[in-house]
Amino acid sequence: MTRDEITAEIVAARLAKGLTWQQLSEAVDKPVVWTIAALLGQHPIPSETGAVLAELLGLDESVVPVLAAVPMRGGLPTAVPTDPTIYRFYEVLQVYGGAIKELIHSEFGDGIMSAINFSLDVERKPHPDGDRVVVTLDGKFLPYAWTSADG
Amino acid sequence: MTRDEITAEIVAARLAKGLTWQQLSEAVDKPVVWTIAALLGQHPIPSETGAVLAELLGLDESVVPVLAAVPMRGGLPTAVPTDPTIYRFYEVLQVYGGAIKELIHSEFGDGIMSAINFSLDVERKPHPDGDRVVVTLDGKFLPYAWTSADG
Amino acid sequence: MTRDEITAEIVAARLAKGLTWQQLSEAVDKPVVWTIAALLGQHPIPSETGAVLAELLGLDESVVPVLAAVPMRGGLPTAVPTDPTIYRFYEVLQVYGGAIKELIHSEFGDGIMSAINFSLDVERKPHPDGDRVVVTLDGKFLPYAWTSADG
Amino acid sequence: MTRDEITAEIVAARLAKGLTWQQLSEAVDKPVVWTIAALLGQHPIPSETGAVLAELLGLDESVVPVLAAVPMRGGLPTAVPTDPTIYRFYEVLQVYGGAIKELIHSEFGDGIMSAINFSLDVERKPHPDGDRVVVTLDGKFLPYAWTSADG
Amino acid sequence: MTRDEITAEIVAARLAKGLTWQQLSEAVDKPVVWTIAALLGQHPIPSETGAVLAELLGLDESVVPVLAAVPMRGGLPTAVPTDPTIYRFYEVLQVYGGAIKELIHSEFGDGIMSAINFSLDVERKPHPDGDRVVVTLDGKFLPYAWTSADG
Amino acid sequence: MTRDEITAEIVAARLAKGLTWQQLSEAVDKPVVWTIAALLGQHPIPSETGAVLAELLGLDESVVPVLAAVPMRGGLPTAVPTDPTIYRFYEVLQVYGGAIKELIHSEFGDGIMSAINFSLDVERKPHPDGDRVVVTLDGKFLPYAWTSADG
Amino acid sequence: MTRDEITAEIVAARLAKGLTWQQLSEAVDKPVVWTIAALLGQHPIPSETGAVLAELLGLDESVVPVLAAVPMRGGLPTAVPTDPTIYRFYEVLQVYGGAIKELIHSEFGDGIMSAINFSLDVERKPHPDGDRVVVTLDGKFLPYAWTSADG
Amino acid sequence: MTRDEITAEIVAARLAKGLTWQQLSEAVDKPVVWTIAALLGQHPIPSETGAVLAELLGLDESVVPVLAAVPMRGGLPTAVPTDPTIYRFYEVLQVYGGAIKELIHSEFGDGIMSAINFSLDVERKPHPDGDRVVVTLDGKFLPYAWTSADG
Amino acid sequence: MTRDEITAEIVAARLAKGLTWQQLSEAVDKPVVWTIAALLGQHPIPSETGAVLAELLGLDESVVPVLAAVPMRGGLPTAVPTDPTIYRFYEVLQVYGGAIKELIHSEFGDGIMSAINFSLDVERKPHPDGDRVVVTLDGKFLPYAWTSADG
Amino acid sequence: MTRDEITAEIVAARLAKGLTWQQLSEAVDKPVVWTIAALLGQHPIPSETGAVLAELLGLDESVVPVLAAVPMRGGLPTAVPTDPTIYRFYEVLQVYGGAIKELIHSEFGDGIMSAINFSLDVERKPHPDGDRVVVTLDGKFLPYAWTSADG
């Protein structure tokens, strides 16, 4: 089975067994965002962790080494997402991408927010007009640096 | 002048005059992210605010009503961004978009994070391994609701 | 079975059993547009409703939890639709999209029609030159608002 | 001047003169949606109407015959719109396009809603939870008919 | 079986049985262009007609209701066709599309040739330099008309 | 001036001078479809013909040799046309392209309709239910032939 | 089996049986380029020829009528080829396409090289710096001619 | 002036002065295909050659160093060419690309035809059924070789 | 089995058997980069080598001739890669592609780095701030040369 | 002037003045690859450096603050490059991208080569069969790390 086929099985098995993402993340003691991303095929899952998850989800143990390999990442089926929940984040990028870039440069200078040394959190926060989805992207600043191994 | 042409003038004038985004946002007493996004052509700028900014940047006052009109939004020159600083946010969406969707649904049920009733913040936060870019997306949760005016 | 596979089964089963969409929507006491959209994979279907539909359509009951999960939405096979019936709505957007935007802004100010707090109706209305298809899109106005959880 | 250049002039002139779309449509006694669409380059404007609009907007009278010619229609700068206000309508098509198609066929049989024998209205309607944008698409039903001139 | 799968079976069965399109269209007393288009998945096929065709082609009778449903139309595998026989018609559109548009407008005014109230014929016509393919597109003229159900 | 710039001038000059395509084609004694296509930049225009047209349209005589050169053809601004009048022909290709291909092959064998040894006509034909646009595509059949200069 | 599935079988069977393209083309007494193109799904294969090839390759005889039908041509999986051997020919078109066009027009006048009345040869030719691949494209010149069946 | 702007001037100047490509290539004693490709912006033109061409075409001498620089190559305005004369070569690639690849590999082994160590010729050759365009692509065979500077 | 199917089997088998790429490359005495690329479907694998690899990976010996054939190369699923590890190399091309081109031309004159007479190495090199990935691309310089077989 | 316009001026001015990239990089004491990339619009240029370069190239000093701002990066005009010299690097990614990914992961674990903490070198190296272009990409390894500011 390829990683993509295993991902499809995981999605179906979780629903069939009525397991929440929270339960799965607690079973392996990992952050819930990381756990979901990994189970959706975006991160390698260490063998011990994979073995626990495979058993919980009723998957064959032959999936464990495939889950443990670094996957080919990139989870959106189209370059521009069509699902409304995901599209809003793409829209944020269209509307605020330029501003984010300017602010990073004015605060840190030339460079980027790492998407590798990175964590992400999704929280529910109250507000008188209705609860809010607060997504925090937290990545190390990486300054453009012209460095070489011989330096 | 079209809004796009005014945006190009703003970008050039700010650099020529050595004004920071912070100075511009303080001059009009608006959040800095909002101010940058607006000056980059993504939000209408109320006339009084626009008049102050036009004068600071040395633009003709005829730009004020154009700045005050709701613009055609969408600030990225290509569907998939090529600038590395902006691309990382697109990459986050590719890697974590599915997980964000699952978490919003498990916490709130079916619906989305609004990108309209929304604010965004970029902060510099310390960490022993190097300072971090922390971007907070904060949008009202909107549940899917089958409502009609006659209801 | 994935949601896509279930959708394909539903489409085939409905035709084989000669059930109308109207009959299906009445069986579950939901608006007919909502019912079709949901059965075509665009909305989660609550378990009790899903159980009724699965039985009517002769589907295995294992589909019920998958139908109850929030799906990855986006039902057109290509970015620009090729089916003539659907294309006409895309054409309306090409020809009248700018006008709709201007009218929303002149009537409500800056903001959007929600596609989430939203309902849609398709009616047949008479006219001396031939009956007409009248499609009503009815969404809550959402004003651009710079709000945050801490506000 | 090409039609595109005239459209850009119209957009700028309207804002500079502080004219509302409503005022322009009343001056020529046409529906407001039609008037905006026409001024945004999507419909030919009869010469007398064009002359009135050109004078109101302060445009050279040489634009009148160009406005009167049938334009190359299609007003969105990208195949998938990026402006949030317009995008929501594209999203409606992604989520409900299949359902609209099914309903048209179940009510009328095989055929389409015309986008040519067509009108469109945008209204503000009240609702306890906030006013709503109600967009009505009203097109003649055209049945698939295998007809020929010799028939 | 989905309509696409049935189409693939039809294509194979016709070749295996050595049936010509002409024979199939005569068996159901329909124009040959219509018959081919319908069998290639582009038109619904009334049940009696579908039953005759299914028997001739040796298909299971369960395909009849699927053939009778209005299909999702659009038969080209790519937006720009690559098959040379089909590409030539796309090329005609690239070279003569503008001229066709101008002529329709100068003869009829603003409007379109319907592709719904429409028939198409392919004939072989002689010429001293070699026989010619003559394709006649015959569609009702539809004038742009701002009509509504309430009018 | 490039050919594209000359085409834009032609389009504007014709409207400003109130000339019909018919008048232009008669002035140079050429078929009207050919004349429009050529003036829209899709065919070379022989020098004598070009000189007549340039004078009628009030263009500088320096355009004559550019009009006489074979142009880079391809007159649609996007791969899939967005103008409704032109789009309908693309739709015909989507719905009937496969049928046209099958009919050409069953009547003539393997080969194509030439789009080079080709003419096109647009006619208005009466019908009790409304006049019809009849477009005739007339191209030489070219059989696939494996021929070489040495043969 | 569809033609695509048969092509995949042919590719695999040829390798498994260790047959060269040369052997296959000699067995049916056809040019080798034609034979390969046909076996890769780009040409119909007459029944007698198809029967010989099917037997040589060990395919079921039911493939013969499918091979004999005119296929949907177009053999590249992407619009721009990614295989380096094939890409070089696309690159030649990018770099020399304009020059080829100018030369055809200066030598023959307005028209094209037919890709239908056409043959192609691939030869190995010696050179002191290393043997060369010489590909000869040989197509009938087709002049643009405005001809019709009635002419 | 950029290279693109110079190319546009060259195209216009050649037509205005009535110079043939042949005359230009003879004036600089270069192959005609190379000369056209270079003047269309696809090759650098050595300074002495560029000076001769600039004078013949009446261009300012400041273009000479720009012509002498290696240009950004790639002369087609769209990924898939729309001009019929150029498209036919793309079609050849679609229909025969796979066969050319197989033949190169069966004759030479794994590798490519170079498009760099390469020449191209366009000839007119007679045939009883009409003269033919014969295009010869002649490139050095480059075998895949895993070589490194240290080897 | 097609080459693509064999590649999928290889990927799965390697993980299941816990073999490293290093072990596989040593078993066949080939450079490790070459070995991985070949096993991922980008190079033909000589029969003896293929037989060894097939046995190590537990594949059926019928894969050996398919592995030995030159494959259709091009290993990325999308034109722009979405996997972050691969994307960084595409980003390098976006940011430094122009500079690499200029440097090749200033050092060697007009021409290219061959990607065929080519090797590639990936090394880990130390640096006080963290180990570095050093990728060396090493290709023969190929000067643009207008050569022909008859020369 | 926008950064893009300044880049176009730089390209022209360098050729007109006959300056080599080497001379420019020495004048500002920066690595030559960095200097070219920066002058082609891919890096900000510190004010002192920018002032020296502007004077050498004869540009107005008003360009200095624009050069000093972080640019919108991404230097290729199309998603897939068409220039042969640059395309070869894209081809390397198509053929060896998967292998590079596997090797980085097998040597370092899950993570990427930074394209930000990064340098690049182009060298000419001798080889008996012809000199070689050796391009070294040297980036810091960044391991996937789930870190947050609060950690």
Q: Residue A91 is nearest to which of D87, D94, D95, comparing CB atoms?
A: D87
Assigned domain for G73 exists: no
Q: What CATH number is attached to the domain comprising A10?
A: 1.10.260.40
Q: C-alpha dihedral over E37, E41, E47, E49, to 10 degrees?
A: 30
F2 pLDDT more than 60:
yes
Assigned domain for H149 exists: no
Of A18-27, C74-83, I132-141, J21-30, the least confident: C74-83
Interchain CB contact of C126 with D (< 8 Å): no
Q: Residue E101 is nearest to which of F83, F111, F118, comparing CB atoms?
A: F83
Interchain CB contact of E1 with C (< 8 Å): yes
Share the mean pLDDT of chain G.
96
Do F87 and F95 touch, CB atoms closer than 8 A? no
Amino acid at J79: A
E-strand stretches of I9-145: 111-125, 132-143
The C-alpha atoms of residue B104 and residue B109 are separated, in whole angstroms, by 7
Q: Hey, which residues does G121 pair with through a beta bridge?
A: G136
What tens digit of pLDDT does each residue of C52-70 get?
Answer: 999 999 999 999 999 999 9
The C-alpha atoms of residue J53 and residue J58 are separated, in whole angstroms, by 8
The C-alpha atoms of residue G112 and residue G101 are separated, in whole angstroms, by 8
Examine the domain organization and report whether E99 and E61 are in the same domain.
Answer: no
pLDDT band at residue B53, thresholds of 50, 70 and 90? very high
Examine the domain organization and report whether J104 and J49 are in the same domain.
Answer: no
Q: Enter the tokens of residue G93.
A: 């078109």
I151 pLDDT more than 70:
no
- pLDDT one digit per residue (tens) for chain A, 151 residues: 899 999 999 999 999 999 999 999 999 999 999 999 999 999 999 999 999 999 999 999 999 999 999 999 997 989 999 999 999 999 999 999 999 999 999 999 999 999 999 999 999 999 999 999 999 999 999 999 999 997 5
Examine the domain organization and report whether A40 and A91 are in the same domain.
Answer: no
Task: Kindly identify which residue of chain B lies nearest to residue I92, measuring between CA atoms.
Answer: B84
The pLDDT of residue A151: 52
The C-alpha atoms of residue D5 and residue G118 are separated, in whole angstroms, by 46
The C-alpha atoms of residue E63 and residue E19 are separated, in whole angstroms, by 19
Interface test with I, best of A73, A117, A147 (most I CBs within 10 A): A73
Examine the domain organization and report whether F89 and F64 are in the same domain.
Answer: no
Question: Catalytic positions of I, please?
Answer: 88, 91, 114
Do H143 and H109 touch, CB atoms closer than 8 A? yes
D151 pLDDT more than 80:
no
- How close, in Å, is residue G140 to chain I by CA atoms? 24
Q: What is the mean pLDDT of residues D13-24?
A: 97
* CA D23 centroid distance within chain: 17
D80: chain B residues, CB-CB within 8 Å? 79
- How close, in Å, is residue D26 to chain A by CA atoms? 34
Examine the domain organization and report whether H18 and H64 are in the same domain.
Answer: yes
What tens digit of pLDDT does each residue of G6-45 get?
Answer: 999 999 999 999 999 999 999 999 999 999 999 999 999 9
Q: Residue E73 is nearest to which of C84, C125, C127, comparing CB atoms?
A: C84
Examine the domain organization and report whether A56 and A95 are in the same domain.
Answer: no
Assigned domain for B138 exists: yes
Number of domains in chain B: 2
C105 pLDDT more than 70:
yes
* Run of H or E including J27: helix J21-28
Interchain CB distance below 8 Å, J18 and H73: no
Examine the domain organization and report whether F40 and F94 are in the same domain.
Answer: no
D150 pLDDT more than 90:
no
Interchain CB contact of D100 with C (< 8 Å): yes
Q: What is the mean pLDDT of residues J41-56?
A: 98
Task: Supply the ipTM of this predicted assembly.
Answer: 0.95
F27 pLDDT more than 60:
yes
Assigned domain for J136 exists: yes
Do D71 and D58 touch, CB atoms closer than 8 A? no
pLDDT band at residue E75, thresholds of 50, 70 and 90? confident
Do F117 and F140 touch, CB atoms closer than 8 A? yes
Task: Kindly identify which residue of chain B lies nearest to residue D79, measuring between CA atoms.
Answer: B79
Question: Which residue of the set G5, G26, G62, G88 is catalytic?
Answer: G88
Share the mean pLDDT of chain E.
96
Report H:10-29 residues touching I (Cβ under 8 A): none
Neighbours of chain A (3+ CB pairs under 8 A): B, C, D, I, J
Catalytic residue flag (residue G25): no
Assigned domain for D31 exists: yes
Q: C-alpha dihedral over F138, F141, F142, F144, to 10 degrees?
A: 130
H151 pLDDT more than 80:
no
Sheet with F111-125, edge to edge strand ranges: E111-125, E132-143, F132-143, F111-125
The pLDDT of residue B146: 97
What tens digit of pLDDT does each residue of F92-107 get?
Answer: 999 999 999 999 999 9
pLDDT band at residue F75, thresholds of 50, 70 and 90? confident
Examine the domain organization and report whether G49 and G95 are in the same domain.
Answer: no
Where in the sequence is the domain holding I47, given as residue range(s)?
3-68
The C-alpha atoms of residue C95 and residue H148 are separated, in whole angstroms, by 58
Task: Kindly identify which residue of chain D lies nearest to residue E121, measuring between CA atoms.
Answer: D148
The pLDDT of residue J151: 52
Catalytic residue flag (residue D55): no
G132: chain I residues, CB-CB within 8 Å? 147-149
G16: chain I residues, CB-CB within 8 Å? 62, 65-66
The pLDDT of residue H89: 98
Neighbours of chain F (3+ CB pairs under 8 A): C, D, E, G, H
Domain limit, last residue, from C21, C37, C68: C68
Interchain CB distance below 8 Å, D149 and E143: no
Assigned domain for J103 exists: yes
Interchain CB contact of E74 with C (< 8 Å): yes
- How close, in Å, is residue G111 to chain E by CA atoms? 13
Examine the domain organization and report whether B7 and B52 are in the same domain.
Answer: yes
Q: Enter the tokens of residue I92.
A: 């390098």
What tens digit of pLDDT does each residue of B88-124 get?
Answer: 999 999 999 999 999 999 999 999 999 999 999 999 9
Q: What is the mean pLDDT of residues E65-76?
A: 95
pLDDT band at residue C84, thresholds of 50, 70 and 90? very high
Assigned domain for G149 exists: no
E151 pLDDT more than 70:
no
With touching defined as 3 or more inter-chain CB pairs under 8 Å, the answer for chains A and D is yes
The C-alpha atoms of residue E33 and residue F100 are separated, in whole angstroms, by 7
Share the mean pLDDT of chain D.
96
Examine the domain organization and report whether J12 and J56 are in the same domain.
Answer: yes
Interchain CB contact of E40 with G (< 8 Å): no
The SS3 assignment for C131 reads coil
What tens digit of pLDDT does each residue of G84-128 get?
Answer: 999 999 999 999 999 999 999 999 999 999 999 999 999 999 999
- How close, in Å, is residue B150 to chain A by CA atoms? 23
Assigned domain for I128 exists: yes
- How close, in Å, is residue B136 to chain D by CA atoms? 20
J73 pLDDT more than 60:
yes
Interchain CB contact of A4 with I (< 8 Å): no
B65 pLDDT more than 60:
yes
Interchain CB distance below 8 Å, H84 and F65: no
Task: Kindly identify which residue of chain B lies nearest to residue C110, measuring between CA atoms.
Answer: B70
Interface test with H, best of G39, G96, G119, G138 (most H CBs within 10 A): G96
Examine the domain organization and report whether G58 and G17 are in the same domain.
Answer: yes
Examine the domain organization and report whether B51 and B103 are in the same domain.
Answer: no
The pLDDT of residue C83: 97
Q: C-alpha dihedral over G115, G121, G126, G132, to 10 degrees?
A: 50
Interchain CB distance below 8 Å, G117 and F70: no
With touching defined as 3 or more inter-chain CB pairs under 8 Å, the answer for chains H and C is no
What tens digit of pLDDT does each residue of J113-126 get?
Answer: 999 999 999 999 99
pLDDT band at residue D75, thresholds of 50, 70 and 90? confident
The SS3 assignment for B73 reads coil
Q: What is the mean pLDDT of residues J133-145?
A: 98
J21: chain I residues, CB-CB within 8 Å? 102-103, 106
The pLDDT of residue H112: 98
Question: Catalytic positions of J, please?
Answer: 88, 91, 114
The C-alpha atoms of residue A71 and residue I83 are separated, in whole angstroms, by 9
Contacts I–J by Cβ distance under 8 A? 231
The pLDDT of residue I46: 98
Q: What CATH number is attached to the domain comprising B98?
A: 3.30.1160.10
The C-alpha atoms of residue B31 and residue E120 are separated, in whole angstroms, by 61
